[in-house]
Amino acid sequence: METLLSITDSAKRSYEEYIRDIILSITGLEKMNSYTDEEALLDLKEALSRVPGLAREGLIAGSDINKTSEEGRAELLRDLSTFKVCMAWIALELLPLPRLKTAKSGEDSYALKHRVEKYVDLNSTGHIYVSNGIVTLAMVASGFKYQREGWRRNMQFNVSRSRVNKIQDRYFAQDRLRRDSN
Protein backbone atom coordinates (compact mmCIF):
# COMPACT_ATOMS: atom_id res chain seq x y z
CA MET A 1 0.00 0.00 0.00
CA GLU A 2 1.38 3.39 -1.00
CA THR A 3 1.80 5.98 1.68
CA LEU A 4 0.92 9.62 1.22
CA LEU A 5 4.65 10.44 1.22
CA SER A 6 5.38 8.03 -1.63
CA ILE A 7 2.44 9.39 -3.63
CA THR A 8 3.74 12.94 -3.08
CA ASP A 9 7.26 11.88 -4.10
CA SER A 10 5.83 10.17 -7.18
CA ALA A 11 3.81 13.27 -8.12
CA LYS A 12 6.87 15.48 -7.63
CA ARG A 13 8.98 13.18 -9.81
CA SER A 14 6.27 13.15 -12.47
CA TYR A 15 6.07 16.95 -12.43
CA GLU A 16 9.84 17.25 -12.72
CA GLU A 17 9.81 14.81 -15.66
CA TYR A 18 6.96 16.83 -17.20
CA ILE A 19 8.99 20.06 -16.89
CA ARG A 20 12.09 18.32 -18.28
CA ASP A 21 10.05 17.14 -21.28
CA ILE A 22 8.71 20.68 -21.79
CA ILE A 23 12.23 22.11 -21.73
CA LEU A 24 13.46 19.63 -24.29
CA SER A 25 10.39 19.89 -26.51
CA ILE A 26 10.30 23.69 -26.59
CA THR A 27 13.97 24.16 -27.18
CA GLY A 28 15.47 21.05 -28.63
CA LEU A 29 18.56 22.21 -26.77
CA GLU A 30 20.39 19.28 -25.24
CA LYS A 31 22.46 21.64 -23.11
CA MET A 32 19.32 22.78 -21.31
CA ASN A 33 18.33 19.18 -20.70
CA SER A 34 21.68 18.72 -18.94
CA TYR A 35 21.21 21.90 -16.87
CA THR A 36 21.08 20.27 -13.46
CA ASP A 37 18.88 21.30 -10.57
CA GLU A 38 22.01 22.10 -8.60
CA GLU A 39 23.31 24.45 -11.31
CA ALA A 40 19.90 26.06 -11.68
CA LEU A 41 19.55 26.56 -7.92
CA LEU A 42 22.96 28.26 -7.78
CA ASP A 43 21.96 30.57 -10.66
CA LEU A 44 18.60 31.26 -9.02
CA LYS A 45 20.14 32.12 -5.65
CA GLU A 46 22.80 34.34 -7.23
CA ALA A 47 20.19 36.25 -9.25
CA LEU A 48 17.96 36.54 -6.18
CA SER A 49 20.81 38.12 -4.23
CA ARG A 50 21.10 40.81 -6.94
CA VAL A 51 17.42 41.87 -6.84
CA PRO A 52 16.36 42.92 -3.33
CA GLY A 53 12.65 43.22 -2.72
CA LEU A 54 11.69 40.63 -5.32
CA ALA A 55 8.85 38.23 -4.63
CA ARG A 56 6.88 35.84 -6.80
CA GLU A 57 4.51 38.56 -8.02
CA GLY A 58 7.34 40.98 -8.74
CA LEU A 59 9.04 43.80 -6.88
CA ILE A 60 7.67 44.83 -3.52
CA ALA A 61 7.90 48.40 -2.27
CA GLY A 62 7.35 50.40 0.87
CA SER A 63 6.29 48.91 4.19
CA ASP A 64 5.41 45.54 2.66
CA ILE A 65 9.00 44.80 1.72
CA ASN A 66 10.17 43.36 5.04
CA LYS A 67 7.02 41.39 5.75
CA THR A 68 6.56 39.71 2.38
CA SER A 69 10.04 39.70 0.98
CA GLU A 70 11.25 36.63 2.90
CA GLU A 71 8.07 34.67 2.12
CA GLY A 72 8.22 35.70 -1.54
CA ARG A 73 11.88 34.82 -1.86
CA ALA A 74 11.23 31.38 -0.34
CA GLU A 75 8.47 30.81 -2.91
CA LEU A 76 10.85 31.76 -5.71
CA LEU A 77 13.45 29.28 -4.49
CA ARG A 78 10.83 26.52 -4.62
CA ASP A 79 9.96 27.35 -8.25
CA LEU A 80 13.10 25.81 -9.73
CA SER A 81 11.36 23.90 -12.53
CA THR A 82 9.71 27.01 -13.93
CA PHE A 83 13.02 28.89 -13.61
CA LYS A 84 14.59 26.21 -15.82
CA VAL A 85 11.81 26.57 -18.41
CA CYS A 86 12.39 30.35 -18.46
CA MET A 87 16.14 29.85 -18.84
CA ALA A 88 15.52 27.50 -21.79
CA TRP A 89 13.14 29.99 -23.45
CA ILE A 90 15.61 32.85 -22.95
CA ALA A 91 18.41 30.75 -24.46
CA LEU A 92 16.26 29.99 -27.48
CA GLU A 93 14.50 33.31 -28.10
CA LEU A 94 16.36 36.20 -26.43
CA LEU A 95 20.06 35.39 -26.24
CA PRO A 96 20.41 35.47 -30.05
CA LEU A 97 18.92 39.00 -30.18
CA PRO A 98 21.04 42.15 -30.05
CA ARG A 99 20.80 43.89 -26.68
CA LEU A 100 19.99 47.50 -25.96
CA LYS A 101 22.64 49.58 -24.19
CA THR A 102 20.31 50.21 -21.24
CA ALA A 103 17.14 48.66 -19.86
CA LYS A 104 15.31 51.99 -19.80
CA SER A 105 13.20 51.42 -22.92
CA GLY A 106 13.36 47.64 -22.98
CA GLU A 107 10.71 44.97 -22.55
CA ASP A 108 9.32 44.37 -19.08
CA SER A 109 9.06 41.26 -16.94
CA TYR A 110 5.26 41.12 -17.07
CA ALA A 111 5.22 40.94 -20.87
CA LEU A 112 8.03 38.37 -20.91
CA LYS A 113 6.22 36.04 -18.50
CA HIS A 114 3.31 35.92 -20.94
CA ARG A 115 5.64 35.17 -23.87
CA VAL A 116 7.08 32.17 -22.01
CA GLU A 117 3.60 30.89 -21.12
CA LYS A 118 2.40 31.28 -24.72
CA TYR A 119 5.45 29.47 -26.06
CA VAL A 120 4.90 26.53 -23.72
CA ASP A 121 1.21 26.44 -24.69
CA LEU A 122 2.10 26.29 -28.39
CA ASN A 123 4.93 23.78 -28.15
CA SER A 124 3.86 21.28 -25.55
CA THR A 125 0.74 19.53 -24.37
CA GLY A 126 0.50 21.46 -21.13
CA HIS A 127 0.42 24.88 -19.57
CA ILE A 128 2.58 26.31 -16.82
CA TYR A 129 2.15 29.45 -14.77
CA VAL A 130 5.19 31.72 -14.95
CA SER A 131 5.44 34.30 -12.18
CA ASN A 132 6.74 37.81 -12.73
CA GLY A 133 9.47 37.15 -10.15
CA ILE A 134 10.75 33.93 -11.69
CA VAL A 135 11.07 35.37 -15.20
CA THR A 136 12.87 38.37 -13.68
CA LEU A 137 15.38 36.05 -12.01
CA ALA A 138 15.91 34.07 -15.21
CA MET A 139 16.62 37.28 -17.13
CA VAL A 140 19.06 38.47 -14.46
CA ALA A 141 20.76 35.05 -14.37
CA SER A 142 21.07 35.18 -18.17
CA GLY A 143 23.05 38.40 -17.96
CA PHE A 144 20.51 41.00 -19.04
CA LYS A 145 20.72 44.52 -17.66
CA TYR A 146 17.68 45.53 -15.67
CA GLN A 147 15.98 48.39 -13.86
CA ARG A 148 12.75 48.88 -11.98
CA GLU A 149 9.87 50.20 -14.04
CA GLY A 150 8.89 53.24 -11.95
CA TRP A 151 7.02 52.13 -8.82
CA ARG A 152 5.43 49.18 -10.57
CA ARG A 153 6.22 45.55 -9.75
CA ASN A 154 7.90 45.02 -13.10
CA MET A 155 11.52 45.15 -14.19
CA GLN A 156 12.66 46.38 -17.58
CA PHE A 157 15.46 44.61 -19.46
CA ASN A 158 17.84 45.59 -22.23
CA VAL A 159 15.99 43.64 -24.90
CA SER A 160 14.04 45.48 -27.58
CA ARG A 161 10.25 45.58 -27.19
CA SER A 162 9.84 45.57 -30.96
CA ARG A 163 11.96 42.41 -31.25
CA VAL A 164 9.97 40.72 -28.50
CA ASN A 165 6.75 41.83 -30.22
CA LYS A 166 7.95 40.07 -33.39
CA ILE A 167 8.36 36.90 -31.32
CA GLN A 168 4.80 37.37 -30.06
CA ASP A 169 3.52 37.90 -33.62
CA ARG A 170 5.18 34.63 -34.64
CA TYR A 171 3.47 32.83 -31.73
CA PHE A 172 0.06 34.23 -32.69
CA ALA A 173 0.61 33.14 -36.30
CA GLN A 174 1.53 29.64 -35.10
CA ASP A 175 -1.57 29.57 -32.92
CA ARG A 176 -3.82 30.63 -35.82
CA LEU A 177 -2.30 27.97 -38.08
CA ARG A 178 -2.79 25.32 -35.42
CA ARG A 179 -6.44 26.31 -34.83
CA ASP A 180 -7.16 26.56 -38.57
CA SER A 181 -5.76 23.08 -39.19
CA ASN A 182 -8.09 21.54 -36.59
Cβ atoms of 174 and 122 closer than 8 Å: yes
Count up the domains in the chain and report the number. 1
Q: What pTM value is reported for the model?
A: 0.79
Q: Which domain holds residue 55?
A: 4-181
Among residues 173, 13, 155, 171, the alpha carbon closest in space to that of 89 is found at 171
pLDDT band at 177 (very low <50, low <70, confident <90, very high): confident
pLDDT band at 19 (very low <50, low <70, confident <90, very high): low
pLDDT score at 30: 52
